[in-house]
Amino acid sequence: MRRGILPIVGSRIEDVQAADCAKRPILIAPKPAAFRRRVIGQKITEIGRVGKRVVVRLASSDAMIFEPRMTGLVLLAAPPTIEHLRLKVALSGGKHKELLFWDRRGLGLVRLVTPREFDKLYGLEKLGPDALAVTSVELRDRLATSRRAIKVALLDQRALAGVGNLYASEILHLARVHPACPCDQLRPAQWQAIHAAILEVLNLAIRYEGSTLGDGTYRNALNEQGGFQNHHRVYDRAGEACPSCGKTQIQRIVQAQRSTFFCDRCQKPGRKRRAAAAGQ
């Protein structure tokens, strides 16, 4: 998403229109009037990212934060439907005349923040290191003492920022780690494998511009489908043969109310620690 709207760097914001949304009035903070006043006339200096949010930085040093959650899209082209268009930002001085935020389910949000608010909302207190920048050692240090299942821990944005449910399954299959294995039972070599798989899977998904699943919701900034769904190893493939061993059917289980997909041949549960048993 960040890469998709990079072309608007240098453009100036001419206008902002927020759709009235009775269900979720807190679509925008601050309130529309203040939002408009602080944004109109501003030049866009940079497009950044913090975890799963897109950050549009302005010359004033304020930043617009786009948080798509499940079905939110950041667009430079016409949206999938005129319904569910939440925010329209009119631009000048560049190729693109509009930046849009469209969100079918309305779980996403857009807010404007000062640098101080940015740190408070998205600083190290709230978000872990970025998944594309974390080192293997840092990853292990932050997660290895947890008793939670590794799949559940990977989704904790305070521990590690940027991994979502789909990619957690993909990462653990590539790393050959069982999703239900408690973090504190993983061996150093497994942490290295997970770290390598995080980079591999996320970078590949970025190259293919994301996963457009059955409901067709995800689109890139030009409202085109992603391609990574054709490269999913396990996600949404329950019952199909595992792409690694070709022998076992991919399983679907539920962890923390979310689907997990894995191969029980390639991703063996970790052995219980021998030390504990031997000590008795």
Give, to the nearest 10 degrees, the angle between helix 188-207 and helix 165-175.
130
Q: Which is nearer to DNA, 77 or 253 (CB)?
A: 253
Using rule CB under 7 A, residue 33 touches DNA: no
Q: How far is the CB of 92 from DNA (least distance, A)?
A: 32
Q: How far is the CB of 234 from DNA (least distance, A)?
A: 12
Using rule CB under 7 A, residue 19 touches DNA: no
Q: Which is nearer to DNA, 24 or 31 (CB)?
A: 24
Q: How far is the CB of 73 from DNA (least distance, A)?
A: 14
Q: Which is nearer to DNA, 54 or 221 (CB)?
A: 54
**d(C-alpha 34, C-alpha 70), whole Å:** 27
**DSSP run (H or E) holding 33:** helix 32-39
Interface residue with DNA among 148, 173, 219, 237 (CB under 7 A) is 148
Q: Which is nearer to DNA, 4 or 11 (CB)?
A: 4
Helix and strand element counts for the chain (H, E) = 7, 11
Q: Which segments of the chain does DSSP mark as H helices, in order?
A: 32-39, 115-122, 136-143, 150-154, 165-175, 188-207, 274-278
**DSSP run (H or E) holding 116:** helix 115-122
**d(C-alpha 52, C-alpha 71), whole Å:** 13
- The residues of the shown chain that bind DNA, judged by CB under 7 A, are 23-24, 51-52, 67, 69-70, 83-84, 104-107, 121, 126, 145-149, 152, 155, 157, 164-166, 214-215, 254, 256-259
